[in-house]
Structure 1
């Protein structure tokens, strides 16, 4: 008769944090990933299209504090830093409409990320992350920022809106 296993149950393997660090690290200094864009919709086309959109999402999450109330309120200086980071890695048109389109996209991705953090780590809906804290899983979140984020999200006026 077989003995029952004394080891703890295996954790379900889930998709990890999308950091794209290996993808970006492969890029030699001074070179950029070539991306074409649809001139009418600004949507990326080609081999690196999905990576471009993933990278924008990552940059928005990692460069902008989770405690920023609105994307529109982010300083122009920070937006310039973010845009410089993107244009150092990818070929992009330089017109203002193009940039505006992708900043709106990044704002939406940051909002989704903050909703995910709230649902999983604060309100416990679908907690698949075991005992990890968000500042352990997402190295760009500082513990003091997380504490403030939790306080804000638990306020009654936030939960009503």
Structure 2
């Protein structure tokens, strides 16, 4: 199946990594370790790329986009494990003794090492610093760890065919679950951004 690229391959890459049946457990190909994507061995990245290329005719020009999307998903995956399966149970080591049943492909040795890294003093310090930085932001968003990229993925799924621009992301990132912006100052800023985007669209 030949798929054409959209937005320079970015949208195609995200769709492939999210939906390809050959990558249902692609996370299992990447070790669950506390390191940056740039430190992951090249042969593992090649395995991911080859798996994608078996299911989709992407071409070498799309390789970087596919691997960049895989890197983002890997980072989000570790964040999900940390937020939902580790930090809530810091005082219940029994629940941390085994990998989550949802992710049966995680080996116990890797899980134990990952849990230890997330409960370390170094990680606690970095996590605390990030929280303090967010508190000081004048127009703080409400995205937690999923970030703007995660929000964009979510909006693309719920609003197919609609172009998600920066102003839309900014406003949605600051809305509560009812679609309201609780902070009056932030709400005023959102109105200003909306007016500017409307004027830009008309021009």
TM-score of the two chains, using structure 2 as the length reference? 0.50
Matched, 1:116 2:80: yes
Which has more helix, going by share of residues?
A: 2
SS in 1 for 2:66: helix
Contact 1:66–1:145 (Cα < 8 Å) also in 2: yes
Matched, 1:36 2:34: no
Contact 1:34–1:91 (Cα < 8 Å) also in 2: yes
Q: Pick from 49, 52, 55: which aligns with 1:83?
A: 49
1:148, CA displacement in angstroms?
A: 0.6
Q: What is the CA–CA distance in structure 2 between the aligned matches of 1:160 and 1:54, rounded to whole Å?
A: 32
Q: Pick from 119, 133, 146: which aligns with 1:154?
A: 119
1:59, CA displacement in angstroms?
A: 5.3
Report the number of matched residues. Answer: 118
1:44, CA displacement in angstroms?
A: 2.1
Matched, 1:102 2:66: yes
Unmatched 5+ stretches in structure 1: 1-32, 126-130
The 1:113–1:39 alpha-carbon spacing in structure 2 relative to 1, beyond 3 Å, is: closer
Unmatched 5+ stretches in structure 2: 90-94, 127-203
The 1:137–1:40 alpha-carbon spacing in structure 2 relative to 1, beyond 3 Å, is: closer
1:58, CA displacement in angstroms?
A: 4.5
Q: What is the CA–CA distance in structure 1 between the aligned matches of 2:123 and 2:26, rounded to whole Å?
A: 22
Counterpart of 2:102? 137
Structure with the greater relative contact order (CA < 8 A, sep ≥ 6): 1 or 2?
Answer: 1
Contact 1:37–1:44 (Cα < 8 Å) also in 2: yes
Contact 1:35–1:91 (Cα < 8 Å) also in 2: yes
Q: What is the CA–CA distance in structure 1 between the aligned matches of 2:10 and 2:114, rounded to whole Å?
A: 33
The 1:108–1:120 alpha-carbon spacing in structure 2 relative to 1, beyond 3 Å, is: same
